[in-house]
């Protein structure tokens, strides 16, 4: 029965996202599969937390879209998600919900909160930070860098990162209360797990972006970008390790946020 509800909920959400052009056709199909597994094998805690990430990041990517348009061309992740991006954001969580079903233990839930807090913090920081009027500074050297540079952070972006991480922690705890698995007393520890692991995970993402992540330079406008094409031409690698793609950086940061949350869960509960 849960699988049927999960598929129906997921169809509703994916359908709405497709109509609003937040998901491509392949992205919608992937979202339906993912939603069905999150609700069918899991419950509202898993499904709701994923949805909280998806809805808030979709709304934020639409907020002041025109001001962010130029910057978005240099980022690998954009508002319109295809199947690969849907799995990049929710794939690890899908593995965790399956692990939780096979070997029930709360540690999978803490790790999941850490992973979702990391991707949410990273997205909020990118979407809100790119609106900051102050010039970003390199997370390593603290010197000003061009807006859109990987590894560049702003005060606004850091605050947004913390807020996004906190929202996931609090939201996850509230979903657990709705299904009767936790009481009010779990809000504080979950909020702390989300805040610390999500902020740290997103921070690691910036550190990688400033150091080892593969970056490209556009031969037309001279900007440093994450994408292989800019201004209509192919970009060339400018720095970083050739195998350290943006996807791999996201994966490693999420795993770090998840591991940290797992440890915090053991300490706090
Ligand atoms: Zn260019």
Contact residues for 222 (Cβ-Cβ < 8 A; gap 6+): none
Q: What angle do CA 206, 47, 172 make, to 5 degrees?
A: 65
> What is the whole-number distance in angstroms between the Cα of residue 231 and the centre of ligand 1?
4
Q: 78: pLDDT confidence band, cut at 50, 70 and 90?
A: low
Look up residue 5 and give its two tokens.
Answer: 């509800």
> What is the whole-number distance in angstroms between the Cα of residue 39 and the centre of ligand 1?
42
CA distance 13 to 90: 15
Residue 135 DSSP class? P
| Distance spanning both ends of the chain, measured CA to CA | 32
> What is the whole-number distance in angstroms between the Cα of residue 43 and the centre of ligand 1?
45
Length of the chain: 269
| Nearest partner of 175 among 70, 53, 22, judged by Cα | 53
Max CA pair span of the chain: 57
Q: Is 225 helix (H, G, I), strand (E, B) or coil?
A: strand
> pLDDT tens for residues 15-43?
988 888 888 999 999 999 999 999 999 99
* Alpha-carbon torsion, ordered 171, 173, 178, 179, to 10 deg: 120
The helix (run of H) or strand (run of E) holding residue 54 is helix 44-62
CA distance 258 to 191: 14
> What is the whole-number distance in angstroms between the Cα of residue 245 and the centre of ligand 1?
19
Identify which of 54-58, 198-202, 221-225 has the greatest average pLDDT: 198-202
Q: Is the pLDDT of residue 79 over 60?
A: no
- Pairwise pLDDT comparison (148 vs 48), residue with the higher score: 48
> What is the whole-number distance in angstroms between the Cα of residue 148 and the centre of ligand 1?
12
């Amino acid at each position: 029965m849960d699988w049927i509800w999960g598929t129906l909920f997921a169809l509703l959400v994916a359908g709405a996202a497709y109509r609003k052009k937040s998901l491509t056709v392949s992205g919608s199909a992937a979202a339906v599969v993912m939603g069905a597994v999150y609700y069918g094998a899991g419950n509202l805690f898993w499904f709701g937390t994923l949805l909280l990430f998806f809805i808030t990041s979709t709304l934020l990517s639409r907020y002041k879209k025109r001001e962010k348009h130029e910057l978005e061309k240099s980022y690998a992740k954009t508002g319109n998600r295809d199947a690969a991006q849907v799995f990049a954001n929710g794939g690890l969580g899908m593995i965790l919900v399956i692990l939780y079903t096979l070997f029930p233990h709360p540690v999978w839930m803490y790790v999941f909160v850490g992973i979702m807090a990391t991707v949410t913090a990273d997205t909020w920081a990118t979407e809100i930070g790119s609106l900051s009027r102050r010039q970003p500074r390199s997370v390593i050297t603290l010197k000003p860098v061009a807006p859109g540079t990987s590894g560049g952070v702003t005060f606004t972006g850091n605050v947004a990162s913390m807020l996004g991480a906190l929202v996931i922690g609090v939201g996850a705890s509230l979903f657990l209360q709705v299904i009767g698995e936790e009481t009010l007393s779990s809000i504080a520890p979950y909020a702390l797990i989300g805040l610390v692991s999500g902020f740290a995970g997103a921070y690691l993402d910036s550190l990688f972006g400033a150091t080892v992540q593969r970056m490209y330079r556009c031969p037309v406008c001279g900007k440093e970008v994450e994408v292989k094409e800019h201004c209509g031409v192919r970009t060339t690698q400018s720095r970083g390790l050739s195998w350290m793609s943006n996807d791999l950086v996201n994966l490693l940061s999420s795993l770090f946020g998840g591991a940290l949350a797992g440890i915090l869960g053991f300490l706090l509960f």
